[in-house]
Amino acid sequence: MRPELEQQFEESSRRNLAGMCRRLAEIIRPAPDPEADRRAAILDDAYATDDPDERARLIREWLDAPFSGPS
């Protein structure tokens, strides 16, 4: 194959692969989940505190928080 055709083929292949990777990332990227973010923030606070009563309160809050698991 001529060098310029080989280079064009490689560039085209890279663009196609990059496009497929972007599309795959769009497909598998989870939708934003504010509930999950809130639950994660509660756990972060629970681990960050040295106060056992506050930690217990936060863990109870985490357990009571809405959970939307996989459907």
Quick: pLDDT tens for 22-60: 787 777 777 777 888 888 899 899 989 899 999 999 989
Q: For residue 68, give Cα distances in angstroms to 11, 16, 37, 59, 62.
A: 43, 36, 12, 18, 13
Task: Look up the pTM and report it.
Answer: 0.51
**CA separation for the pair 71, 63 (Å, rounded):** 20
